[in-house]
C-alpha cells in the first residue's frame, strides 16, 4: 500500500504547517516555477487526484488498517458530501488515520476541485450496485426505525441534501465499518463525529447495522470504482 506521505509533496499547498516543514520547503522550491492558476485545468486536477488513484481506483482494493474492508467508491458521489467528508478528516472529526493524513495535505481549493471531479467521474459508466429488491420485513423495520430514506432518499441513492451521501451500491463491508464508526464518535482510530448519524446509529445493534449495510450494498446506484486506465 502506498503511504500518503510519499505522495504529499505534489499536493501540499500549505507551506509552513507544523506537520511538515520539509513539505513546505518542497513547495517553496516549486512556487517560482509553478504555472498560473488559470492554467490549472485538466493537468492540474490529474496531479491532484494522482494520490487517490492507488486506493480509490482499484476495483475491490482492500484497506487493511485499522480494519479490513474495501476502500469506498467515491466516483459518482455528491461533490458536497465528498468535500464535507474530506474536511471532516482534515479537522479530525473523522479519525481514520490514512484519510486524515491525505486530507491534511489538501487546501480548501483542492478539496472543491477534487470533489467536483469525482462527482462527474465515470458518468458514462454503469454504477456498481446490484439489482436490489424490496427489503425483507426485518430490514424494512430497521429502515423505518432509522428513517434512513427520509435523508438518504429514494433507493438510498437520492439524498435530500447534496451534503448527504449516496449509499446504494457502496461496498457492504465499508458501510458496516462506517456505521460502527458513528457509534464510537469521539474515539480513534475509526471514530466519526457527526451529530446526525451518531444519533441514528445509537439504537442499533452491530448485527442490525450489518443487515442494513448488506441491503444498501445490494441496491442499484450511481457509485462506482473507475479503474486507473480511464484516467490517462
Ligand atoms: C492509502 C489508501 C487511500 C488513499 C491514498 C486515499 N484514500 Fe480516501 N479512503 C481510503 C479509505 C480506507 C477510506 C475509508 C475511511 C473511513 O473508514 O472513514 C477512504 C475514505 C475516503 C472518503 C470518504 C468516503 C465516504 O463515502 O465517506 C473520501 C471522500 C476519500 N476517501 C477521498 C479521497 C481522495 C480525494 C484521495 C486523494 C486526494 C484519497 N481519498 C486518497 C483510502 C485511501
Ligand atoms: C437526518 C438525516 C439522516 C438520517 C435519518 C440518516 N442519515 Fe445517514 N447520513 C446523514 C448524513 C448527514 C451523513 C454524513 C455524515 C458525515 O459527514 O460523516 C450520513 C452518513 C451515512 C453513512 C456513511 C456513508 C459513507 O459513505 O461513509 C451511512 C452508511 C449512513 N449514513 C447510513 C444511514 C442509515 C442506514 C440510516 C438509517 C438507519 C441513516 N443513515 C439515517 C444523514 C442521515
Q: Answer with the residue of higher pLDDT: 43 or 191.
A: 191
Say what the alpha-carbon torsion angle 221, 157, 102, 30 is, to the nearest 10 degrees: 80
Reference 81, options 185, 149, 193, 161; nearest CA is 161
- Check residue 145 and give its pLDDT: 97
**Nearest C-alpha to atom 6 of ligand 1 is from which residue?**
52
Tally Cβ neighbours within 10 Å of residue 53: 16
Grid cell listed for 175: 458501510
**Which residue is closest in CA terms to ligand 2's atom 29?**
175
CB of 212 closer than 6 A to ligand 2? yes
165 lines ligand 2 (CB under 6 A): yes
With a 6 Å cutoff on the Cβ, whether 71 touches ligand 1 is yes
**pLDDT class for 124, splitting at 50, 70, 90?**
very high
Predicted confidence (pLDDT) per residue in 58-97, tens digit: 999 999 999 999 999 999 999 999 999 999 999 999 999 9
Q: What is the mean pLDDT of residues 146-162?
A: 97
Q: What is the C-alpha separation between 171 and 31, in angstroms, rounded?
A: 40
* Nearest ligand by distance to the CA of 90: 1
Instruction: Report the nearest atom of ligand 2 relative to the CA of 179.
Output: 29
190: confidence class by pLDDT, cuts 50, 70, 90: confident
CB atoms under 10 Å from CB of 132, counted, come to 18
Cα(164) to ligand 2 centroid in Å equals 7
Q: 22-31, 45-54, 160-169: lowest mean pLDDT where?
A: 22-31
Of the bound ligands, which one is closest to the alpha carbon of residue 216? 2
Mean confidence (pLDDT) of the chain: 85
Residue 96: phi, psi to the nearest 5? Answer: -50, 120
Does residue 189 have a cis bond before it (omega within 30 degrees)? yes
Can you tell me the mean pLDDT for 104-118?
Answer: 97
The CA distance from 68 to 57, in Å, is 17
Q: How much is the pLDDT for 41?
A: 65
Cα separation, 3 vs 18, in Å, equals 19
Ligand lying nearest the CA atom of residue 99: 1
For the four alpha carbons of 69, 75, 80 and 84, in that order, the dihedral sign comes to positive
Amino acid at each position: 500500500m502506498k503511504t500518503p506521505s510519499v505522495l504529499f509533496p505534489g499536493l501540499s499547498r500549505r507551506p509552513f504547517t507544523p506537520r511538515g516543514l520539509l513539505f513546505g520547503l518542497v513547495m517553496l522550491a516549486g512556487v517560482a516555477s509553478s504555472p498560473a492558476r488559470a492554467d490549472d485545468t485538466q493537468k492540474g486536477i490529474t496531479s491532484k487526484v494522482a494520490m487517490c488513484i492507488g486506493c480509490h481506483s482499484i476495483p475491490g482494493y482492500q484497506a487493511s488498517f485499522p480494519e479490513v474492508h474495501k476502500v469506498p467508491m467515491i466516483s459518482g458521489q455528491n461533490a458536497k458530501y465528498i468535500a464535507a467528508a474530506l474536511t471532516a478528516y482534515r479537522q479530525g472529526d473523522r479519525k481514520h488515520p490514512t484519510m486524515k493524513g491525505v486530507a491534511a495535505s489538501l487546501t480548501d481549493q483542492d478539496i472543491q476541485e477534487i470533489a467536483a471531479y469525482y462527482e462527474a467521474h465515470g458518468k458514462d459508466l454503469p454504477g456498481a450496485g446490484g439489482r436490489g429488491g424490496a427489503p425483507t420485513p426485518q430490514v424494512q423495520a430497521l429502515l423505518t426505525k432509522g428513517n434512513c430514506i427520509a435523508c438518504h432518499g429514494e433507493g438510498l441513492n437520492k439524498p435530500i441534501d447534496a451534503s448527504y451521501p449516496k449509499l446504494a451500491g457502496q461496498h457492504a463491508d465499508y458501510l458496516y465499518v462506517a456505521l460502527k464508526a458513528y457509534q464510537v464518535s469521539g474515539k480513534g482510530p475509526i471514530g466519526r463525529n457527526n451529530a446526525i448519524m451518531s444519533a441514528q446509529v445509537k439504537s442499533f445493534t452491530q448485527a442490525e447495522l450489518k443487515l442494513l449495510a448488506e441491503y444498501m450494498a445490494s441496491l442499484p446506484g450511481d457509485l462506482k470504482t473507475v479503474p486507473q486506465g480511464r484516467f490517462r
